[in-house]
Amino acid sequence: MVGTELVRSAFVRNDSIAIETYKGVTDTFSVRWINNCEYIMRKLHPKNTYDQQAVHFKILSTTENSYLFEFQMVVKKQNQENIVKKGTVTKITTP
């Protein structure tokens, strides 16, 4: 869940790279960890100015198979409020 919307995304992430498929589109991101609970992701091959913006993620709590997080754009546009959204990631093991 992101806010009140159910969003499905599949990703594989190691320490510094994430490959995500969202709404049928696959992208590769660099991942830079700030500390054990915060990281910054940036698209490796942005297609427009919006895609060039990095996103800051902060893990708020964890369980055995999930975590609650919040995220926001690192650089906000002029006259635009920097909106923080919350979501939940659930680990799904595929055969």
Residue 2 lies in a domain: no
Helix, strand or coil, per DSSP, at residue 47? coil
With b for 16 or more beta-carbon neighbours within 10 A and e for fewer, the 56-93 pattern comes to bbbeeeeeeeebebebeeeeeeeeeeeeeeebeeeeee
Residue 3 lies in a domain: no
Q: What is the pLDDT of residue 80?
A: 65
Residue 49 lies in a domain: yes
Q: What is the pLDDT of residue 56?
A: 94
Residue 27 lies in a domain: yes
Residue 36 lies in a domain: yes
pLDDT (tens digit per residue) in 64-73:
999 999 999 8
Among residues 31, 24, 23, 82, the alpha carbon closest in space to that of 57 is found at 31
- Among 2-6, 22-26, 50-54, the minimum mean pLDDT is found in 2-6
How many structural domains does the chain have?
Answer: 1
Query: 35 lies in which domain range?
Result: 9-90
Residue 95 lies in a domain: no
Residue 29 lies in a domain: yes
Q: What is the pLDDT of residue 87?
A: 87
Residue 57 lies in a domain: yes
What does pTM read for this prediction? 0.80
